[in-house]
Amino acid sequence: MLRFWKNVLLLCLGLVVGLVDSYAQSTYPLVPMPVRLQPAAGTFLLTAQTSLVIPASQPEIRKIATYLQNKLKPATGYTLPLTETSANGSQIQFVLNAKPDASLKKEGYTLDCTPDKITIKANQPAGLFYGVQSLLQLLPPAIENSKPITGIAWTIPCVNITDYPRFEWRGLMLDVSRHFFSKEYVKAYIDQMARYKFNTFHWHLTDDNGWRIEIKSYPKLTEIGAWRVERTGRFGNRKLPQEGEKATYGGFYTQEDIKEIIQYAQERYVTVLPEIDVPGHSMAAIAAYPWLSCVKDPKTKVNPGTRFAEWHSNGTFTMLIDNSLNPADEKVYEFLDKVFGEIATLFPNPYIHMGGDECFHGFWAKNPECLALMKKMNLKNSGELQSYFVKRVEKIIQSKGKKLIGWDEILEGGLASNATVMSWRGTKGGIEAAKQGHPVVMTPSPNTYLDLMQGDPIGELTVYSTVRLKDSYIWNPVPSGIDSTLILGGQGNLWSEHLPTFRYAEYMAYPRAWALAEVYWTPQAQRNWNSFIQRMELHFTRADAAEINYARSVYDPIIKVSKTATGKTLVDLKTEIEGLDIYYSTDNTYPDRFYPLYTKSIEVPEGADMIRMITYRNGKPVGKMLTLTMEEINKRVRK
């Protein structure tokens, strides 16, 4: 009898341990994954009486506690009491370490959750803020609702967390030139960044399709440069502005708006990196002030998404309209001095991004002033002329007390002495810069370009290339063979040629930005694709509650088409994540789970018009219905 009860007890214990263990692996819905997480037994229950306890006379910590209070209020309906005196009973306590814990560095924290008390400790307020983000993620997804939700126990599983970031630079870029996003959307983007512990908002403020920041010394930059004719249809195929047509699409941020956004970001421990893209990508500025360019065409208009460049098979390009500044004109440097001066005054970030990418040199090569300057300065080619320009810009930026950062093209013709390089054409520019001893931010397009397709083109708005979720997750920002301390971190870049709405910007950003959040925060050795997928799915539920859009393309099959030696056409399918079933049809009808299950290459039957497919998990559809037409199959076979 005794042995029986002993066995029952052991069984129960085993069950509890097993539960806690599997909970630890899958149910702590934290993204990015913390450095150390120790599950503990029990739960903390948040009630209307839970007090937020902060140290006395620390206004910055009070702000963080107020941020938490505001985040908890809509869904719970509670306004948690905030106090500087020690409280009894249920509480969340914020502690600034009297003696800094070196392992936590500047942004780390510890979070200790027991059934009656949660303690968040950090060396600096930023760490407390990240502790708050983890705390919010540990609450049920319903906490993300903007309206009161009743009948939910607001529990947090007990846990001990020690956490700090791998990199000091964890960024997301937003291009507001190709499409304009209002101040409210920019704030929403920053708010969403903060939830995933990003700390750098790179704001691509100028390009060919709109100049978006008020510059008091040059009012036409926004009077003219912020507006273009309204067009629908595919960006890049649109009709040129017509004679007399009004420029009605666009917008810009006043300097007051900019200050407001910087402040909003600061309250979320996000620093704002402004980018003024020169000498290329400058059509909007040139539309306002044609003298900035070599061609000085007074008819230059802000580009509404027409094709103005020809891309050649070797990766080079020809601009059909001059969109670059004239590097041989002193007036251009006076202009930049004023522009960067105003930027430096507005933005507290130590860096200014000067762009520097994709500058066409063809108009320079035909311009007598440029040719004379090259001769005078003994510049051997247009690459060296661009390098001359970048070095002049670096002097200007330094004279304003700032550091220059630019896209990896700034390496061409010789890097300016203190420049930091943002490596986008893969990691090679970053490697080269690091070898020369320069700091680097990694944003390789095959892993971090959030404007690229996240699934097969038949299921996405098509653009020129693809970055699957796994591509964003599985890469290491520190290449081997270089001084790793020079890699400051990385970013995800959301270019907006094909993002007419903010809702769609979200679709492109998530979940890939969440994957990148983990790449830049979590130690390399602790990253795990399957674990990420489980947590990502829990974040889908949270995003649903928060009404934030995201792509489910990770559920869609990866399609490969090939031809055998005997002339048969084969379609091979696989999935990015484990445990999905693919059902398909070859008879033009819409498959469900009663259709053939994909187990081996599909031999395309003679006469078929298309293959349709959809993924399921545990009997429920999870992917979209994809249609691969015979036309598409033939196109892929030919490639």
List of residues contacting ligand TNX (CB under 6 A)? 357-358, 407, 424, 449, 451, 495, 497
Distance CA 605, CA 633 (A): 12
Q: Which is nearer to ligand TNX, 191 or 357 (CB)?
A: 357
- Using a CB cutoff of 8 Å and minimum separation of 24, what contacts does 621-627 make? 621/592, 621/593, 622/552, 622/555, 622/580, 623/552, 623/555, 623/556, 623/557, 623/580, 624/459, 624/552, 624/553, 624/555, 624/556, 625/590, 625/591, 626/456, 626/458, 626/459, 626/556, 626/557, 626/559, 627/458
Distances (CA, A) of 190 to 194, 263, 270, 537: 6, 11, 8, 22
Which active-site residues does the annotation give? 207, 281, 358
Q: Distances in Å between the alpha carbon of 479 and those of 33, 342, 395, 428, 624?
A: 22, 37, 30, 9, 36
Closest distance to ligand TNX from the beta carbon of 583 (Å):
34
Of 257 and 358, which has the nearer Cβ to ligand TNX? 358
Distance of closest approach, residue 308 Cβ to ligand TNX, in angstroms: 12
Look up residue 165 and give its DSSP letter: -
Within 303-413, where are the H helices?
Answer: 330-346, 362-365, 368-377, 382-399
Distance CA 332, CA 2 (A): 91
Query: At its nearest, how many Å lie between ligand TNX and the CB of residue 489?
Result: 17
The one-letter code for the residue type at 5 is: W
Least gap, CB of 470 to ligand TNX (angstroms): 19
Tokens standing for residue 80: 């948690």
Q: How far is the CB of 126 from ligand TNX (least distance, A)?
A: 29
Closest CA to 147 of 77, 46, 97: 77
In the bound state with ligand TNX, the residue whose beta carbon lies nearer, of 75 and 551, is 551
Query: What's the min distance (Å) between Cβ of 472 and ligand TNX?
Result: 14
DSSP letter assigned to residue 453 = B
- Angle, to 10 degrees, between the axis of helix 255-266 and the axis of helix 330-346? 50
Least distance in angstroms from the C-beta of 496 to ligand TNX: 8
HSE-up of residue 17 (Cα within 13 Å, Cβ side) = 6
- Please compute Rg for the chain using Cα positions: 27
Q: Between residues 164 and 475, which has the closer beta carbon with respect to ligand TNX?
A: 475
CB 168 within 8 A of CB 488: yes
CB of 352 to ligand TNX, least distance (A): 16
d(Cα 333, Cα 632) in Å, to the nearest integer?
A: 51
Closer residue to ligand TNX, CB minimum distance, 68 or 453:
453
Burial per residue of 296-328, b for 16 or more beta-carbon CB atoms within 10 angstroms, e otherwise: eeeebbbbbbbebeeeeeeeeeebebbbbbbbb
The tokens describing 547, both together, are: 């009404």
Residue 445 C-beta: closest distance to ligand TNX, Å: 7
- Whole-angstrom distance, CA of residue 331 vs CA of residue 264: 35
Residue type, 95: V
